[in-house]
Structure 1
């Protein structure tokens, strides 16, 4: 009898879930604080918010912060089984869907910026000016809104008026009323990530060729750019795997509720939180200019260096 309770939501399982939720809150708060510090550093240092790669970096940090905050709110609502009106859930889901796509699209744009800087250095100033980067950020948000529009359009075309008046636990899955909607959503996301993967592989090959033929400081700088592209590719891979998680979780739910909860928690940590926590590592710590500015503001100007 004790075993059955643990499988269907008895006391032992509830304690386990509670511990996991607390761990997530700690992780989310830590990374939100780090992201806030990075954004403050970006805004305070004029040379950073007029440079293309740092402007794109700030966009990805803001996007990651939105996703961390919104996913954590939904996690808490799901854990305590708090229901809300479908219209309120639509508003929250629009933000979640939009910024879950902004991050990988921005990663692709940052990879292209590194490609231009290394393979087309004479045109970098023209193609990656502040004005061009602002236009690029608008294009990123426009492209990122397409999957969101597709998901909501299929939902609005299928849902009855009565459905909007209902109260439900908010999840993006409530917009998938029929199997064909799930197929359309999956096809759109897979197409996006295929294009992004091709772009990153193309940039990696081109940068690698230039890095091998370069010498001295240029060679060192080019190999550093190559490592940055590899890290972007790793982030993108984690984001791609996140798309497969719902299919895996649905299959596991048929086997065991306990295993389903463990797998869903692991997927959330590895494929939702982890990709959003790599950006501070890639640019916040590896980039010397940004790291020195960050160190200066983090320690209340204790370190005075001319960057």
Structure 2
């Protein structure tokens, strides 16, 4: 969504990008409304904020809302070529860099929770207590902050004092002065990608073994947990593809600007917006307890069926 329309000089390009920008606003507004309703539902019942999987679910919803707001704001600034002071850009960069990773880390933690619930049911209460959940949330935010801290430390060491007084269009590229900084950030991201993939595959294999050995109601519950892990894996893959988007876009920009616009638009829809709409589907609609509560509050209490809580 780069504001480089002067490179082509064509009004049709400007009109095309403008329609896409409006469509993005519609999608973002829709997802924010859906997530807002589910966050409200989460806080209305104490059962939800004392259960690990629902707490982690709420963390993903809050993270998704924040990243959608921040990235959409930066998208609009980039499109209209709006500049801002560096200190403000640093704040936006920290929020976007940290919470881009909070969602995939939380999805990984939710997968581990399903693994413990199905493969280690006797220890589930101990390992997945509210206290353990709070510790997990802190660890998730700590790990998500590492790439951001690395980039900012190298930026502070490299930037001159006059650079902080400038006003620029905010993007992650302005914090990277040398190639090694980009390579270091990429290496950390790829390490995270590998670790999360290993956890997903490990959990899937273990749950699969339990599912084959289970019978009756246990088998039904186990296969449901297995499907949840598969959905988490797919959602996690879409989230982690964000890490490769800058490399793809930079390579395409060297070939054709119109193709760059199309690829960047596709990446934002597929790897930023799409994963954020899967969380409500995985837990908001597939989880019976949460769905009943959600339907009750969405209909302002008109639904007579009682919650299964």
TM-score range, shorter chain: over 0.9
Asked if the contact 1:6–1:13 (Cα under 8 Å) also holds between the matched residues in 2, the reply is no
Question: What is the aligned partner in structure 2 of residue 275 from structure 1?
Answer: 275
Distance 2:272 2:118 in 1: 31
Distance 1:223 1:267 in 2: 32
Matches within 5 A, 1:212-223: 212-223=212-223
Question: What is the aligned partner in structure 2 of residue 285 from structure 1?
Answer: 285
Question: What is the aligned partner in structure 2 of residue 75 from structure 1?
Answer: 75
Distance 1:120 1:306 in 2: 30
Does residue 160 of the first structure (1) align with residue 173 of the second (2)?
A: no
Distance 1:123 1:298 in 2: 35
TM-score (norm 2): 0.96
Instruction: Give the count of matched residue pairs.
Output: 303
Distance 1:112 1:301 in 2: 34
Distance verdict in 2 for CA 1:26–1:7, change over 3 Å: same
Distance 1:70 1:116 in 2: 34
1:306 Cα deviation after fit: 2.2
- String of CA shifts for 1:158-183, please: whole Å, max 9, x gaps: 11111111111001121111111100
1:86 Cα deviation after fit: 1.2
Distance 1:261 1:221 in 2: 45
Distance 1:290 1:101 in 2: 25
- String of CA shifts for 1:127-159, please: whole Å, max 9, x gaps: 111121111111111111111111111111111
Distance 1:208 1:128 in 2: 21
1:7 Cα deviation after fit: 6.2
Q: Which sections of structure 1, spanning at least 5 residues, go unmatched?
A: none
Question: What is the aligned partner in structure 2 of residue 33 from structure 1?
Answer: 33
Does residue 235 of the first structure (1) align with residue 235 of the second (2)?
A: yes
Distance 2:272 2:246 in 1: 12
Question: What is the aligned partner in structure 2 of residue 91 from structure 1?
Answer: 91
Question: What is the aligned partner in structure 2 of residue 122 from structure 1?
Answer: 122
1:225 Cα deviation after fit: 0.5
What RMSD, in angstroms, separates the aligned Cα atoms of the two structures? 1.1
Question: What is the aligned partner in structure 2 of residue 44 from structure 1?
Answer: 44
- Runs of 4+ in structure 1 off by over 3 angstroms are none
Asked if the contact 1:59–1:106 (Cα under 8 Å) also holds between the matched residues in 2, the reply is yes
Q: Which sections of structure 2, spanning at least 5 residues, go unmatched?
A: none
Question: What is the aligned partner in structure 1 of residue 144 from structure 2?
Answer: 144
Question: What is the aligned partner in structure 2 of residue 108 from structure 1?
Answer: 108
Distance 1:9 1:200 in 2: 47
TM-score (norm 1): 0.97
Q: Secondary structure at the match of 2:49?
A: coil
Distance 1:269 1:10 in 2: 24
Question: What is the aligned partner in structure 2 of residue 264 from structure 1?
Answer: 264
